[in-house]
Structure 1
Amino acid sequence: MTDQTAAAGSPSSYACAGCGARVEYVPGTTVLRCPYCGHQRQLAAAGRQVREHPYAELAGLLPRKPLAGVDGHVLGCERCGARTQSSALSEMCQFCGAPLVADVTAGDQIAPEAVLPFEVDHDGVRTALRRWVSSRWFAPTSLKRVTEAESLKGTYLPHWTFDARTVSDYDGRRGDHYWETETYTETVNGEQQTRTRQVRKTRWRSASGTVRRDFDDVLVAATRHLAEAQLGKLEPWPLEHVVPYQPDYLAGYQTLRYDTEPEAGLATAKTVMAEVIEQDCRHDIGGDEQRVTSVDTRYSDITFKLVLLPVWIACYLHGGRTWQVLINGRTGEVIGQRPYSAIKIAMAVAVATAVLAVAILLIVQSRAS
């Protein structure tokens, strides 16, 4: 049985119309479903497109407070009436387990513009975890018996995306390789012999120019709860599939509030852009080698948005210890902690040492003959 779509803009209720329990967003669909009786409700149509906000208008979006001074959201549970103050945008009621989603339009922070909904469900997590543990080199054989997570939490993590047009003036040097014939002497069987060989040299000359590039959706993590390098390993994200933010996508999941300001996010994004721009400069210089000594970049048409990305945070038990992994809730990519087998590593080192010893012996024998 399926409810009619709720009217766009109406307050969200997550009480199940079938049994009174709760409804949650179902990954890979556009419905909310009760995990107990299966009653479903269709998500409302967004009625708008995902927008890119001009960065120049950031100061006028709202009277933002410093992050340290932002109060938590007060989340009221419609099922049991409990009220919870939380820094998260969504979570589960600690008393009855009903989904709680904050009103992001009533706060001191920038509201999410878009969300990339979960597509990997619990079965997909099991499949991804089994595939991951079975492909770990130098892991204990017993690790392959791990097929279930001891704990599993679906979490939306905030990220900034930035677009920009850039024009970069650079100075550098271009190196072109050429070959010269070099004469040298060596002793062969006690006699001095003159020989020649080709020696590669590099001719350097000054280079300068201008490169242009348009950047689209440069992604920067907006949370410090997980290491940025760790989150980077979950990429790429199919950002072309983001949809306009709706609170219903958050029902049944935890959603972290951003704790990195967009100004700091842009500074990080510019370092990412700078690496790409330097490669553009090297390509423009040409030649066999390039040295870029200075780059002056001008940015225009900078836009940004806050997007929520889906991650499963899982823990599994092995060897009496808890190990954490992160699973991309859209692609199933898995990263995380794993045990190592000292025996397998020792065997691999022994084999590599034996192979190296045989190779050295063969080289010595060939020279002696």
Structure 2
Amino acid sequence: MANCPQCGGTVKFDIESQQLKCMSCDGLFAPEMEELLADPENSSGSADANNGGEYEATVFICPQCGGELVSTEHDLSGNCSFCGSPVVFNTKMVRQKRPDYIIPFGITKNECKEAFIKEIKKKPFAPKELKDPEFIESFRGIYVPYWFYDVKQNGKFSFDVNYTEHHSTYSYVCKDRVSGQHNSEYKHIMHDASSVLHDDISEKTEPFETVPNPDLHRRSPELKKFSTGYFAGFYAEPADVPASTYIEYAKHIADDKTAAYITKHQSFTKYHKYPERKTLETSAEKNSLAMMPVWFLSYRKHNRVAYAAVNGQTGRVVSDCPIDFGIFTLKFLAAAAIFFILLMFATIMPVSVTLMSVIFAWFVTRYCHDDIKMLRGRADDEKTGKLRVKLSSSKLTLGIFIGVFIVFLWFKACCYVEPDAVMFVEPHLFGLIAVVFIILHIVNTVFLYIDLAAIKKDRAVCYFISPMLDLAAAFFGTAVLFAAPVEDYKYYLAGCIVIAVEMLSFIAIIRNYNRIATRPLPQFAVHKGGDDSAR
């Protein structure tokens, strides 16, 4: 623990001033003054700089999950950052590998909470705890270890390509072989070096800026030489993953960047093939250990846990966000009540109820597909060298559904202005509209099962059953429209049956979404680590 040389009070790293600050006399000191962290009762532990590549620290161990946090502080209270349990931590003194670099915290805790609240407001069904100011006070400043790799590529490259030439009456494909000389160097390709934090969380909090960006003002704009002074008042995860683990990952990233540059070069824009990796002569020349700042929060619900993280340099927010079923139900019932109140002022055609149920069936399948793409994206993230892509089409789905609803209201308005217009609408016309959505539904279902087949684990039963139930319900509603029964109650009955099936399907999807949006309670003592997948 750092002590003030003026009054002996506790000294902590102050984010706003980027200096060590005494909590008693407000004195400011440079973080590089490591003698402030010396143990006055043990002169042998004085300056860490004199101890080679190590520094002395306290390890706090959660007795529930085995998660570890390292700090120069001597106490830690509250919930475990990894399993969310209220615990009394076990402690021990250890010597830790001294990192080479550090990016100090530049985002204060209040700024972290403001950024998180701003983000969580965009998620109307988030659990109320994640919006509770008292709960989010539990954000804890943690330094996450990262391996930095410097990668070089130097030499000749060559690869087979093809290109198309078009003429007035024909076109043909030409094959060729191109070659060139390249000399590339990439610094600070990073990957987290801790097995404690899930890789998808650490990856999504990136990027960290290792060099100053002149267009942005940052309190901590760049890498600094490591000093234990920056740890005062904060915690760190242990670097327990060897540097050799991610060398191939760093090479893949460098290969992708070089290949993208080559193919975008004006000399190669007409070609349609990337160079082969083996021709790029890639080598990882150097690796170093650096500590990156992250504000971290855990939310526990029964035997599942969700994480939120805020980049301590840039303020980037990433969060697991399950759906609170109670909030969802209340808002759904309120929306349904408003919907039916609005429709009371217009003529409600029985066939329109059936048609809307068919459209709703497609809507539910689209959301099921979004969940599956989320799972596939998580699986792809685990592959070494795979660049991460956002795989969500929820906004497209919602946009189409809102568009259909607006057209529906417009039609109702026309019927309200001219009630006789209802008499000229045949059920078969609604049936044709339903067929369009049936086709969309079938196409969507095919792609859904293709994505589902690519997932090797975490495939819930509802992903197989729900899409087929949705499609069967949509076919049933469409069949009723084409049957054109004379009795109105049959349209209402068909619509209610389809909607009932969809609600059951939707509830199953939400329950499973909450399962994949959260994680099993970690058990680091049995070496599952940060890649422990949701079950």
Counterpart selection for 2:223 from 211, 226, 242: 242
CA contact (8 A) 2:7 2:25 kept: no
Matches within 5 A, 1:88-99: 89-94=70-75
CA contact (8 A) 1:175 1:287 kept: yes
Cα 1:178/1:123, change in 2 over 3 Å:
same
Which of 157-166 and 284-293 deviates more?
A: 284-293
CA contact (8 A) 1:134 1:144 kept: no
Cα 1:277/1:135, change in 2 over 3 Å:
same
**C-alpha deviations, 1:75-114, integer Å up to 9, x for none?**
49xxxxxxxxx975525323899xx99896xx6x4x2111
Residue in structure 2 matched with residue 261 of structure 1 by the alignment: 242
CA contact (8 A) 1:222 1:259 kept: yes
**C-alpha deviations, 1:153-206, integer Å up to 9, x for none?**
111111121223312523121323525648xxxxxxxxxxxxxxxxx7643333
Which of 120-129 and 88-97 deviates more?
A: 88-97
Q: Distance in 2 between matches of 1:147 and 1:321?
A: 22
Unpaired segments of 5 or more residues in structure 1?
1-12, 48-61, 65-70, 77-85, 183-199, 365-369
Residue in structure 2 matched with residue 119 of structure 1 by the alignment: 106
Structure whose residues are more often helix by fraction: 2
Counterpart selection for 2:18 from 18, 27, 30: 30
Aligned-residue RMSD, C-alpha: 4.4
Residue in structure 1 matched with residue 27 of structure 2 by the alignment: 40
- Give the superposition deviation at 1:273: 1.0
The alignment status of 1:289 with 2:296, answered yes or no, reads: no
Residue in structure 1 matched with residue 251 of structure 2 by the alignment: 270
Matches within 5 A, 1:148-163: 148=134, 149-163=136-150
Provide the secondary structure at the position in 2 that maps to 1:327. Answer: strand
Counterpart selection for 1:302 from 279, 285, 289: 285
Residue in structure 2 matched with residue 220 of structure 1 by the alignment: 191
Q: Distance in 2 between matches of 1:320 and 1:220?
A: 29
Residue in structure 2 matched with residue 10 of structure 1 by the alignment: none
CA contact (8 A) 2:150 2:285 kept: yes
- Give the superposition deviation at 1:140: 4.7
- Give the superposition deviation at 1:335: 0.4
Q: Distance in 1 between matches of 2:71 and 2:207?
A: 25
Counterpart selection for 2:162 from 171, 174, 192: 174
Q: Distance in 1 between matches of 2:274 and 2:299?
A: 48
The alignment status of 1:135 with 2:107, answered yes or no, reads: no
Cα 1:328/1:363, change in 2 over 3 Å:
same
CA contact (8 A) 1:17 1:39 kept: no
Unpaired segments of 5 or more residues in structure 2?
35-50, 60-66, 79-90, 212-221, 336-359, 365-397, 409-431, 437-535
Cα 1:72/1:345, change in 2 over 3 Å:
farther
CA contact (8 A) 2:2 2:12 kept: yes
- Give the superposition deviation at 1:25: 0.7
CA contact (8 A) 1:117 1:330 kept: yes
Provide the secondary structure at the position in 2 that maps to 1:292. Answer: coil
Q: Distance in 2 between matches of 1:329 and 1:134?
A: 20
Provide the secondary structure at the position in 1 that maps to 2:323. Answer: coil
Task: Please give the TM-score of this superposition, normalised by the length of structure 2.
Answer: 0.47
- Give the superposition deviation at 1:307: 1.1
Q: Distance in 1 between matches of 2:140 and 2:25?
A: 21
CA contact (8 A) 1:112 1:305 kept: yes
Query: What amino acid maps onto 2:159 in structure 1?
Result: D
Residue in structure 1 matched with residue 260 of structure 2 by the alignment: 279
Cα 1:144/1:154, change in 2 over 3 Å:
closer
Which of 324-333 and 219-228 deviates more?
A: 219-228
Q: Distance in 1 between matches of 2:318 and 2:93?
A: 30
Provide the secondary structure at the position in 2 that maps to 1:208. Answer: strand
Q: Distance in 1 between matches of 2:52 and 2:7?
A: 42
CA contact (8 A) 1:26 1:32 kept: yes
Q: Distance in 2 between matches of 1:354 and 1:308?
A: 46
CA contact (8 A) 1:162 1:266 kept: yes
Cα 1:180/1:278, change in 2 over 3 Å:
same
- Give the superposition deviation at 1:325: 0.3
Q: Distance in 2 between matches of 1:94 and 1:128?
A: 28
Q: Distance in 2 between matches of 1:324 and 1:42?
A: 34
CA contact (8 A) 1:46 1:244 kept: no
Matches within 5 A, 1:290-369: 290-293=273-276, 295-299=278-282, 302-315=285-298, 323-340=306-323, 342=328, 349=363, 352-353=400-401, 355=403, 361=433
Among all aligned residue pairs of Structure 1 and Structure 2, give the percentage whose two residues are the same amino acid: 17
**C-alpha deviations, 1:293-330, integer Å up to 9, x for none?**
45323346823321111111123589998642011111
- Give the superposition deviation at 1:74: 6.3
Provide the secondary structure at the position in 2 that maps to 1:239. Answer: coil
